[in-house]
Structure 1
Amino acid sequence: MMTPRPLLFLIGLLFSSLALHGQNAPVVLQAETGVVRQPATPPAITFLTEASTGTGFVRVAGDLVRDSNNGASSPNADSRVVSYTVTFPGPGVYDLYARARVGSGGFDDDSYYLPNSFGTRPAADASRWVVANGLAGGGYTTISDIVSAGGPGGANNTWRWFRMSAFGGGTFTVPAGNLTQTFEIGSRENGLDIDKFVFGASGVFFTVGNLDNGQQGSTTPPPPPFVPPGPRLLPANRSL
């Protein structure tokens, strides 16, 4: 018969393992479940469903709005802000991933605004927003690829996964005792579609397949890129 102390130890170990497993699992946020802060006519942001797959997504309909200094570093209007409420399994630091589709305009269709922290923020306060830009040149589509950097890219009008820290975004901190947070995005360039966001615990690595299916990631980092042995070949007429 097992004594109480070893039994309590095993129970504690089990719950600790379950908690770790829960925090390694991604938190999935469907983009179309958000709420536009102040709807306008015509809309700057639309919510659509892809007929062939049933995929719901957000589409940026109105192009960027420049501020009084001719800049475009914040949404500038409540009609261009989408708000979400998201509950996390535990406190910690999380990385943000997005499944997005860059339109036929390529680098003219590939940016939006991210907050620099959780919470509600003024639409025109540039200090509370960051520009997530350059998506046309990155992203991952291969199921086994680990979404860990900018990515190899892909064709316009195809869904890709992006780790947003590689495109101007940062990490998000969830404090203990406050697991439900407000997350906001802002529209910038029209022609960009967003299917969903995923928050994954920092230090956990996710493949495209993991993110597609909401599966737990791995704490094992991806292998470094292969470097062929031997001296580095230099172009003609070049020196170190």
Structure 2
Amino acid sequence: MTFGQQPQGYNGAPYGQYQSAVNVQPTQVYERAEHVSVTRAYGEMTLGLVITAVVAILTQVSGFYISFLRATGGMGMWILAIVQIGLAIYLGVRVMNMSTTAARVCFYVYAALMGVTLSTIFLAYDLGTIGIAFLVSAGFYFALTMFGLTTKGDMLKAGPILMIALIVLIIAEVVMMFVAPTNTALKVVTAIGIILFAGLTIYDAQFTKKAFAAYASQGPEMIEKISILCALNLYLDFVNIFLYVLQAFGLSRD
């Protein structure tokens, strides 16, 4: 809390000395609550990533995804993708009207489905490359998160620009699915993807902090729902950064 110029008391001491004594406890309580809330969101995100990693490994070891694609044909991949997108949109739109348990279950189911899809990276890349890409992504993500949570700049103003850039990137990647891209085009798209999701990571870190401040007065249940919504956003940022970094390592070896 920032105080302006304080009037002087009868004894010449500024009233701010007494005000600070009165207000220090509420301020500390608010900062502690904010820290706990932000930590909870990142904890939910981390648990989602663990679920994704475990499911991806189990799916690869069991060969479930390959068997699923053989049984369903090309439609299986599209069905799984549509279910994932639909679940993410549903959770993002309906989370405020769902119970905390239902919202958390939806998030974990989404993370598990993502693990099934991501199991294919074990076929395209060796374990060393995947491990290095994960470590690089984790370090990069941590630095971006710390910047987003501590910077005085307002990244939320860049939200519309980031959303437009994301739509353009998605369209470009859809087009590249039907048109054989050059190695240069793939590198450009990969670089743009890393930069874009770096910006979204900073944006979502700030959004997480300000969302808790906005809903702090609405009780612990609302805070838990906000933590799940923010965890989904943060989770998607990390997964996409990891995939683009992994792709960049793969392209650099070609």
* TM-score between the two structures when normalised by the length of structure 1: 0.27
Computing the radius of gyration from Cα coordinates, the structure with the larger value is 2
Which structure carries more helix by proportion?
2
Structure with the larger strand share: 1
What TM-score results when the alignment is normalised by the length of structure 2? Answer: 0.26
